[in-house]
Structure 1
Amino acid sequence: MCSQKDFFDYLTVMLNNSNLPQNNINNYLRNINFLNNELQIISRNTSNSADEYYINLDLKSNLKNAMSIESKQINKFNKNNLYFSLASFNLYKSIYNNLYVRNEFTSKELYYCTKFDTQSNTINLIVNSLKESSETLYLDGYILNLKNFAIADLFNFYIELRDARGIVFASKIFKNIDIAGNLGVYSAKKVYLPFLSKEYELFNADLSSITWYYTYDFV
């Protein structure tokens, strides 16, 4: 077992020796460098995350274990390192999918989160990743309640996704967001939001970065 920093070093070596497209490798290495820098700044729960990463001959199982570790961190919703855990999880998942998922029906990954901001006293949407499959765009993310009270229902959720130039490439009103009847203070719910073919347009969209605008009703 090793620390997360050691695991990043291991991934760097494995990526440089992989058969992935060079653009993918360069993107992953930039994100690893970013996360390494963040790792030196943030305060993580070392008792829960350090020395749990595997480095052995099986990269596939190592990545699965790393995703499991970060998933546990995400579920704690520690405000100090939530974005870091999500960015780490997304990095591992993207590498895993690119190396090991070879099903023709598998969705094409278009974007994955490396960092995000939250706002207090509101409902936050965190976009984890965007994928496309069978003429449908899927937003994988979290609804995070940073209001000072619990909410029972979230509905009329209008969202616009904007590319790096600020151009809207997807928009939709979701009549209801399933939060299982209650979303407590500082609690989150994973969401999977689909946009049908008429609700998004990727032609000429610059997805090197994205922003999102949304409104909602709640009780």
Structure 2
Amino acid sequence: MQTEQQQTKMKVLIVFAHPDKQSLNHSLLEVTTNYLKEKNHEVKVTDLYAQNFKAGVDGDDFLNHEQGKRLFLMRDGGSAYNEGKLSPDIMEEQAKLDWADLVIFQFPMWWYSMPALMKGWIDRVLTQNFSYTGEKMFETAPLAGKKAFIISTVGVPKESYSKGKLGSIGEVFFPIQHGTFELIGFKVLEPIIGYSADSRYSNCFEITSKAIKERIDNIDTIEPMKAQSSYN
């Protein structure tokens, strides 16, 4: 474990999605933010439900789009980014991403994926030319070099994703971690998963809190996942 003096100070953005402030996820969010600050890292939180973030991408996101004309989401998003004509909420989130060294995506797993509101954040914020171009993806993407990882909770025990019919966590999160995060250049670290989150007899909070603190303490030395080979 690194000492506080040795550890690189980071700018950390947490993109968070859970509607209930009394939830396990909110408690874990407090653990993460408080521990990061205790270690003298800078922290910004995008709480999507608290901010009433708009989930659906549409023509109103692109202030240079002429109403009534056909909308080409990728192309028009790239044009609006180039011209500084994205809606203010998108520009605010993009500024946070530019600022951050590390991005943490925290959410409960719902139906093998993230909540719709977080998927909407990805659809709206990761516009063409800001996060990727036709020629610049993965290691050459505009955001390349930033670290990212998922903190998520699931209702069943860990064994359900290693011995049961649910598949592995790597398979479940492959579209997110590889198809989105790695594609836009993030160095993706292994996810932190809180298992048995729905059980009243679970010690999920204690176990996951410990894993979060260990991740923060060792963030400089943890190797990123190796593309597809790490998702088996």
TM class by shorter chain equals 0.3 to 0.5
Relative to its length, the structure with more strand (as a share) is 1
Give the number of the structure with larger relative contact order, counting CA–CA contacts within 8 Å between residues 6 or more apart: 2
Query: TM-score, normalized by length of structure 1?
Result: 0.32
Query: TM-score, normalized by length of structure 2?
Result: 0.31
